[in-house]
Structure 1
Amino acid sequence: MDKQHPQQQWREAVLAYAEAINLYVAQGREQGWDHLEEPATPDTAHLLDAWRAALLAINRPGTGEQQRQLFREAWPPAHLPLLPLLEEQAQGVDQVLLLGDGSLLARIGKPFEKGQVLRLDGVAVTPVIGVEYFGRCPQRRYYALANSEGVRVTDGWGGPLVARLPWPHGLEGLPEGFPFEPLDMPPRPTALLPFPDGQRVLLASSDGIFVLAADGATRLLPRAEDILEELDAGTDPDDVGLGLCMQHVAMSPDGRLIALGEQCGRHLVLGEQLQRLAVVGPASEYPHFALFNRAGDQLLLNACHFYHGASVGVRVADLPGLDTEHYSEDTRTPVLQDGARLYAGVARQGEYIVGDAHGYLRAFGEYGAEHWQHFLGSTISAMDISADGRTLVAASYAGFISVIALDTRRPAWQIGTGAHGEVRRWVCWKGFERPLAW
């Protein structure tokens, strides 16, 4: 029987596995993968009770920051050892935002679940009352705060109210004369993005993509012309699909362009007057995600197939009139990243940082050059980056939130190729009274 303390066993197993995986990746990238054998995952299941007890203990009130740092050194963060616990305790984190004071907003729960919005400040966890969903404009000034009554827009987090916007009733933009039914409950947002004027909000949901304003909503998807095409083809109005899957939106940094899409069809880009500017064929089966670069002069468009995908990049200057098909070889829409199905991503100067369905953060340049990868685990569900590009936060569907200091130092337990150091990990699990700081 191993007489080592569980903490020591954990530390040695996590460090040894990270070292082995990082070496394996380095050799594979340099020499090829054909004759390499992936390192075996260490047996740590017998250490989970001790890990849980230690995590609960370090989160008791009155614990100092030095004690917490010692805890992270003794029990270094890892994902794979926790796999046996995920089925019963994991829950998704579907929204995260870094506030200007360094605190963090998070929505615990998937979009279709009731969920809870929390503010994480240091190690303090505070429920945000009266807010069920949130979002921020690309300029980081206006915030959208939503509940069953509608959407409020504030000038800054905690700032003055500048607009109240009603939810769409669901009949906006639908062909008249057909027996369509209004929504029986407010949409559940997957994105809420205020415009630079603070008076409108871009809403993505499975019930449709809309622009919300005080005098009502404007439907962007599904489009009336597509619905009419179905009706003209003889489809019964009751069978016309008004719901969306894999719906997604992105707003340019200046708020003048909107990229949007869903799993059926191609990527769309709309201009300042919501007019169709471009239709871009995806590089995989199903349009899934969109992201503008930091400068606002390039757009990244991802499409997926199962747990894989591909992302094309298109210069904003090339958008007017652009119309390409699936898997187009048009030189204006080159593939910048091949392999990742994306749910979340951010941009900083000259670089995209995206999270894939296999638990990796992947960074690459605006011409497609790979920069680095960083393993968190599980599907990456939400991301944000600080205004100065130095702090990254990434969340997963396994219920973890990782706060990462970019361009610092990679700790020995971190799996990845970049010089980035996680400074805190939150465990947002069922069965815990609140998220626990690791």
Structure 2
Amino acid sequence: MDKQHPQQQWREAVIAYAEAINRYVAHGRAQGWDNLEEPQAPATEHLLEAWQAALLAINRPGTDEQQRQLFREAWPPAHLPLLPLLDEQAQGIGNLLLLDDGSLLVRIGMPFERGQVLRLDGQGVTPVIGVEHFGRCPGRRYYALANAEGVRVTDGWGGPQVARLAWPHGLEGLPAGYPFDPFDLPPMPTALLPFPDGQRVLLVSSDGIFVLAAAGATRLLPREDDILEELRQGTDPDDIALGLTMAHAALSPDGRLVALGEQCGRHLVLDEQFRRIAEVGPASEYPHFALFNRRGDQLILNACHFYQGGTLGVRVADLPGLDTGFYSQDPRTPQLQCGARVYAGVARDGEYIVGDAHGYLRAFGEDGHEHWQHYLGSTISAMDISADGRTLVAASHAGFISQIALDRGRPQWQIGTGAHGEVRRWLCWKGFDRPLAW
């Protein structure tokens, strides 16, 4: 094999390993995992220099789409062969959106890092000037575009501005008369979600979860009642933790419900006046993620412990007055998925697709029935899906962005159980002057 061209060695190794893993998984799922030995990845480190040279060459100006497709066939994408390079070159993708014209809006860098917003398409890479963070409403109409000066909302990508909103000052929703300090700097958003009216934005950050509006910000978490209770119990104001860990939130499609949480406590759901209507005990230790289905009549809630997790489902009709404890067996909150610590997810008709901490995309139905799994590699950090539910994009902490054609066949080199095939991968790595298309 060593006498073969490096490209041929790469192709054969990647395909052989993917096929072996897929057989292994099929056998384990059908007959059990006892005494089943996982296939070992082939040695490919000696091929990395040739792979990188070929990748740089195919990304030179003037390369057409047919040449890119031939390159992908010759050097099929894979994660494990690149592990020796990740320590020095990987960087997380904090957010991404699939725009209606098929291009990608991407933030290179995690929310707590200085990052760069880029637009990726078939023509190349374009910096988005003046935007440091972004988000889109569930209905795909309004966009939130943020920088240090504040948040502006546009009607469509590139459309007219319909709102200009200030950052919270940090004292909103805190008990008066206590020596709490305002923010020194604006919060670093982990999510910006415009409401369907285009006039308000849900801000999720480690400094708190707020609703931004023209009249000012409203604090949703930490809750004033909880802070007052701590003060009544004698806690010194300086010792009250106003920061949040694992802060997360989701908007219902109609904007009338907010599901939110952080690692301390239970899952919360608020109505359109931001009154608490439900507290749901998690299926694992720490609330971590929330997502409404596309119709808006079901909500999934994920909680984690280390790299594992559990995801509950609850019908929106059952939310008013719902009050369950940790690991509840309440039939209104069945566990729909077991095992995934979810960092990102999307919904399409009748199906949730979530990304876990082990690099897998996992799809399951609203009834909890497992549909398929698809391997990308590294922790999945951001996801989006097209309006028609046929194109999925997923990004990872390793700096990969994968664009996947759903339900249109699986290539030989793909590890997974579904009929889905990646059509483009971007490498957003340190050491490259721009993301490279694979």
Is the pair's TM-score, using the shorter chain for normalization, greater than 0.5? yes
Counterpart amino acid of residue 34 in structure 1? D
In structure 1, list runs of 5 or more residues that go unmatched: none
In structure 2, stretches of 5+ residues that fail to align are: none
How far apart, in 1, do the equivalents of 2:70 and 2:121 lie? 20
Task: State whether residues 355 and 362 of structure 1, in contact with CA within 8 Å, keep that contact through their aligned partners in structure 2.
Answer: yes
CA offset digits 1:137-179 (Å, max 9, x no partner): 0110000000000000000000000000000000000001110
Give 1:322 deviation, angstroms: 0.3
- Structure 2: distance between partners of 1:315 and 1:122: 41
TM (norm. structure 1) is 0.99
> CA–CA distance in 2 between the matches of 1:243 and 1:49?
44
Q: What is the Cα deviation at residue 55 of structure 1?
A: 0.4
Correspondence for 2:181: 181
Q: What TM-score do the two structures reach when normalised by structure 2?
A: 0.99
1:300 correspondence with 2:297 = no
Show CA shifts across 1:61-92 (max 9, x none).
Answer: 00111111000000000000000100000000
Separation in structure 2 between the aligned mates of residue 319 and residue 89 of structure 1, nearest angstrom: 45
Q: By how many angstroms is 1:272 displaced?
A: 1.1
Partner SS for 1:18: helix
The residue aligned with 1:346 is 346
d(CA) in 2 for partners of 1:229, 1:377: 44
> Which structure 2 residues correspond to residues 242-281 of structure 1 after superposition, within 5 A?
242-281=242-281
CA shift, 1:236, in A, is 1.1
Name the amino acid aligned to 1:390. R
C-alpha offsets along residues 265-295 of structure 1, whole Å, 9 cap, x if unaligned?
A: 0000000111111000000000000000011
C-alpha separation in 2, matches of 1:64 and 1:213: 46
Instruction: Quote the residue 2:218 is aligned against.
Output: 218
Deviations 1:86-109 (A, max 9, x none): 000000001010111111100000
Matched AA of 2:92:
G
Deviation at 1:3, TM superposition (A): 1.2
- Equivalent position amino acid for 2:182 in 1: P
Moved beyond 4 Å, runs of 4+: none
Provide the C-alpha distance between the structure 1 equivalents of 2:283 and 2:64, rounded to a whole number of angstroms.
50
SS in 2 for 1:227: helix
Distance 1:122 1:28 in 2: 40
Identity among equivalent pairs (%): 83
Question: Residue 342 of structure 1 aligns to a residue in which SS?
Answer: coil
* 1:231 Cα deviation after fit: 1.2
Partner of 1:17: 17
Contact 1:257 1:271 in 2 (8 A): yes
Superposed CA deviations along residues 203-241 of structure 1, whole A, max 9, x for unmatched, are 000000000001110000000111111111111111100
Q: What is the alpha-carbon distance in structure 2 between the residues aligned to residue 407 and residue 15 of structure 1? A: 20
Shift of 1:123: 4.3
Instruction: Give me the whole-angstrom Cα distance separating, in 2, the residues matched to 1:150 and 1:264.
Output: 29
| Number of residue pairs aligned between Structure 1 and Structure 2 | 438
Read off the aligned partner of 1:39 and give its amino acid letter: P
Between the aligned partners of 1:138 and 1:246, the Cα distance in structure 2 is: 21
Q: Which letter does structure 2 place at the counterpart of 1:62? A: G
Aligned equivalents of 1:3, 1:239: Cα separation in 2? 66
Q: What is the identity, as a one-letter code, of the residue corresponding to 1:318?
A: D
* CA displacement, residues 346-374 of structure 1 (integer Å, 9 cap, x when unaligned): 00000000000000000000010000000
Task: Give distance in 2, aligned partners of 1:272 and 1:170.
Answer: 22
